[in-house]
Chain A
Amino acid sequence: MIHIVVAGFSATVQDVGREGHLREGVPRSGPADPVAFRAACSLVGNTDRDAAIEIAGLPFAFRCDDARIVAVTGREVSVVARDRLPAWTAVFVRAGDVVRVGGTPRTRYAYVAVSGGIASEEILGSRSAYPRAGLGRTLRAGDAIALGTARRGAEDAGGHVPFEYGGDIAAVAGPHHDRFDAAAQDAFFASPFTVAPESDRQGVRLEGPAIAPRPGEILTCGVVSGAVQVPRGGQPIVLLADHQTTGGYPIVATVIAADLGRVAQRAPGETLRFYRVERDEALERGRALARSLSSA
């Protein structure tokens, strides 16, 4: 079992996501920062089908009944058990030791993966919590959750994944780029945007120059994570894990999978800038990221 000692503001169990009920309007969910999630899973020998804990609003603390390999990832996270431990690293934690996860004001999401995975109950084919619709709930201090059989032991400690959150955000144009004139597209791909405080697991809301679509409505269509919706006011929203399955606003561009974590972890008030890539480059970036994560 894993015991939650300090629950943070909003901690949930997340696996890769629930994709079997999209057509019933059930969001995919899964990690807001898929890169940090995959890194944590990979470091402890789990697959991304295994569940980890996502924390928004640190500090968070937990202990396990037996000794486990654990990894904590996320932006600017820190880890302390008996001693300070490195983040983004497979660490060995003794039975009963309390592990405390801290961050900075810039930390949006932290991930705790435990070898064997968080074996909470599956709902509709996934362990990802989506409390809004009654699919799981946020964790509370005192919760105890089963763990799967550990896949790695003490000898596997030490693996490390490097990851840097800075930098501009790569996006593929469209699918509705023809709903924006050249000036609006150029403004989107050249201007700095500021992250608004209302950002959450549904999406990162941006403030900046208005990226006004051409007049006229679009028919509601299905959407995917990374889609950059532009409502009438012209202030873009980058969709994250808990986004609705359909949307009625034109989509100027779609953030590549490898950069989605960089968007999710940008804190309110920080700036963010997009640059355009073609699909092949997006795929190459995805493969390079997968190689760096699997080297753990």
Chain B
Amino acid sequence: MTFAPRVLPFGERALLVELTDVFDETAIGWARAIADAWEAAHLGRAIPAYASVVLTFDAETVAPEQAERDAAKLLAAGPDIAWAIPGRARSPDIVEIPTRYDGPDLAEVAERSRLSIDELIALHSGRTYTAYFVGFLPGFAYCGRLDPRIVAPRLDRPRERVPAGAVAVADGQTAVYPSPSPGGWRLVGSTDVAMFDPSAARPTRIRAGDHVRFVPA
């Protein structure tokens, strides 16, 4: 059965636009494009994720039915809307993350994937990833896709504390923990690059849409 994109109420001051219910790289770009268009038109704030985007609106001045019509209009433009947003198109940066492959789960992930440690490092550092979106923590960029030979389900029991700079993999994706946090991803390496710096003009090292490479250091 195919999923029909839809606009759902999310409380009385936001909408949830669902594009599909499965992981799909086209949907990720589409969600981001809808978010860009919503914010460019000053309709409110937007939070894109894998296959959906939350759109907020000012309930004191905008009726939810009007916000729904605005959202439906953006949705009707289809995935090609990405090309139709004047001034919003940003060519992705290429972000290099110097990485020491010294994570506590490195050997276990290699074994699980039936790879040698060197092969695992070569596969992880041998690709250019796309940053899908930033969430969970300030500056935590969900990047993919991992080489399918890397087998790394989330931990059954998340760690209580993952250090800042931990390079991690889980379920076909990779990311860097920007700050110490509980976490359920498997840790394969570490970096000294600051992923989030509130005093910087651009606080997050990786922005959604950027291309990311891990360079063995």
A174 to B135 Cα, complex, angstroms: 21
Stretch among A55-63, A77-85, A222-230 lining the B interface: A222-230
A25 touches B49 (CB 8 A): no
- Which residues 267-293 of A sit at the B interface, judged by CB distance below 8 A? 279, 282-283, 286, 290
Q: Which residues of the partner chain B approach A254 to less than 8 Å between Cβ atoms?
A: 10-12
Q: Give residues of chain A (13-34) contacting chain B, Cβ–Cβ below 8 Å.
A: 19, 21-27
Partner of A245, one of B9, B13, B135, B198: B135
Known: A23-B35, A25-B137. A286 touches B59 (CB 8 A): yes
A183 / chain B contacts, CB cutoff of 8 Å: none
Kindly list chain B residues whose C-beta atoms are within 8 Å of the C-beta of A245. Answer: 47, 135-136
Chain A 170-182: CB-based contact to B (< 8 A → 1; otherwise 0):
0010110000000
The answer to whether A246 touches B10, judged by C-beta atoms less than 8 angstroms apart, is no
Which of B78-86, B88-96, B143-151, B200-208 participates in binding chain A?
Answer: B200-208
A154 contacts partner chain B, Cβ-Cβ < 8 Å: no
Closest Cβ neighbor of A19 among chain B residues: B45
Known: A172-B11, A279-B12. A132 touches B179 (CB 8 A): yes
Interface of B (DSSP majority class): loop
Among B11, B135, B198, the residue within 8 A (CB) of A133 is B198
Q: Which one of B8, B18, B50, B139 contacts A25 once the chains associate, using CB atoms below 8 Å?
A: B139
Query: How far is it, in angstroms, between the C-alpha of A277 and the C-alpha of B167 when the chains are bound?
Result: 44
Q: Does A244 contact B (CB under 8 A)?
A: yes
Q: What B residues does A227 contact at CB under 8 A?
A: 10-11
B16, CB-defined interface residue at 8 Å: yes
**A24–B47 alpha-carbon span in the complex (Å):** 9
* B198 near A134: Cβ-Cβ < 8 Å: yes
- Contact, CB under 8 Å: A219 / B51: yes
**What is the distance, in angstroms, from A262's C-beta to the closest C-beta of chain B?**
15
Assess whether B64 is in contact with A25, with CB atoms less than 8 Å apart.
no
Distance between Cα atoms of A224 and B48 in the complex (Å): 12
How many Å lie between the Cα of A254 and that of B54 in the bound state? 13
Chain A interface residue count: which class?
A: 35 or more
Q: How far is the CB of B155 from chain A (nearest CB, A)?
A: 15
Q: Mark B131-161, 1 if CB is under 8 A from A, else 0.
A: 0011111111010000000000000000000
B14 at the A/B interface (Cβ < 8 Å)? yes
Give the residues from 9 to 40 in chain B that come closer than 8 angstroms, CB to CB, to chain A. Answer: 9-14, 16, 18, 21-23, 35
Identify 24 residue pairs between A and B in the complex whose beta-carbon atoms are under 8 Å apart, listed by A's number: A19-B56, A23-B46, A23-B47, A23-B48, A24-B139, A25-B135, A25-B137, A25-B140, A25-B196, A25-B204, A123-B198, A133-B198, A175-B16, A219-B23, A219-B49, A219-B52, A220-B135, A220-B142, A221-B50, A222-B46, A224-B56, A246-B47, A257-B12, A279-B64
Q: A220-B50, A283-B64 are in contact. List 17 more A-B contacts (CB 8 A).
A: A22-B45, A24-B207, A26-B138, A26-B203, A123-B198, A124-B203, A132-B179, A174-B9, A174-B10, A175-B9, A221-B50, A222-B54, A222-B135, A245-B47, A257-B12, A283-B59, A286-B12
Q: Chain B residues in contact with chain A, CB under 8 A?
A: 8-14, 16, 18, 21-23, 35, 45-54, 56, 59-60, 64, 133-140, 142, 178-179, 196, 198-199, 203-204, 207-208
